[in-house]
Structure 1
Amino acid sequence: MPTGRLPAPEGASVYFISPADGDTVSGPVMVKFGLAGMGVAPAGMHKEGTGHHHLLVDVDEIPTDRPLPSNEQFIHFGGGQTETELDLEPGEHTLQLVLGDWKHQPHDPVVSSERITITVTE
């Protein structure tokens, strides 16, 4: 199996279908992921040109030198999921999507969405 960061196809992108940047939402927050120029494959399955989603909640920097951690701020969707419901505390939050390869490592170049800001009401 290859090691290090796998190449991303030129023009690949990941984005939010919903919510949109600046939205005010009530919980639980439904988040839907979009992907263009690549396919979705479960974690652990090495297939060129694919990856799986990771949702970063209130994270300022994407670590690229190692697999993404798995915790409340780095949420893994290793089963190939393309949406989720989040229980977020009321207030302002940032969300960002990052595509990871079969071993949860960001591609080279990193395939990530813009960081969006949402406000969660009670």
Structure 2
Amino acid sequence: MPRRFMLRALAAMMLTAVPSLWARSPSPPNAEAYIIWPRDGAVITGGKFWVRMGLRNMGVCPKGIDIPNVGHHHLLIDADLPPLDKEIPSDKNHLHFGAGETDARIELPPGKHTLQLLVGDHDHVPHDPAVYSKKITITVR
């Protein structure tokens, strides 16, 4: 087989494989992420506090576990939802809880802050449709 045909065949195989690598995991009907604590409008004294994370109609598991209807929490701090078809960023505004944690102690500087949960699949990609909480606002004093 001539080399150019082999290269075209290889390129075609790679291009057809790429969409399956990026396919989003489906979420179950009525799945809902929510922040248990703090409540919207809470005033936190001291800056260090526990965030308690909830998930309905879906299971929580560590990253890397590729089974239906499960995921893990990501806490968005002072950030809007990232692109829902790509891996969730990991930085000071996008905290990953890839061990399957449902609570975490965090520290924020004084001022107003927003918090929102976004559930990611085994590869930290939001499900389809995305499962995320209402964005809440807290004040740290």
TM range (shorter): over 0.9
Letter in 1 for 2:61: A
Structure 2 match to 1:98: 118
Q: Does 1:73 find its partner at 2:93? A: yes
Question: Which residue of structure 1 lines up, in the alignment, with residue 133 of structure 2?
Answer: 113
Q: TM-score, normalised by structure 1?
A: 0.95
Give the direction of change, closer, same or farther, for the CA distance of 1:3–1:60 in structure 2 (3 Å limit): closer
The percentage of aligned residue pairs carrying the same residue is 47
Q: Distance in 2 between matches of 1:119 and 1:50?
A: 32
2:5 is aligned to none
- Higher RCO (CA-CA < 8 Å; seq separation 6+): 1
- Aligned residue runs from structure 1 range 1-122, under 5 A: 3-26=22-45, 27-121=47-141
Structure 2: distance between partners of 1:103 and 1:59 = 20
Corresponding letter in the other structure for 2:133: S
How far apart, in 2, do the equivalents of 1:92 and 1:19 lie?
A: 13
Distance 1:117 1:35 in 2: 19
TM-score normalized with structure 2 length:
0.82
Greater helix share, 1 or 2?
Answer: 2
Deviations 1:14-52 (A, max 9, x none): 101100001101220210001100001110110110000
**Structure with the largest fraction of strand:** 1
**CA positional deviation for 1:65:** 2.1
Give the Cα separation in 2 of the matches to 1:83 and 1:25.
16
Structure 1 segments (4+ residues) deviating >3 Å: none
Supply the RMSD in Å over aligned alpha carbons: 1.2
Q: Which moved more, 1:107-116 or 1:2-11?
A: 2-11
Number of equivalenced pairs? 121
Unmatched segments (≥5 aa) in structure 2: 1-19
SS state at 1:99 partner: strand
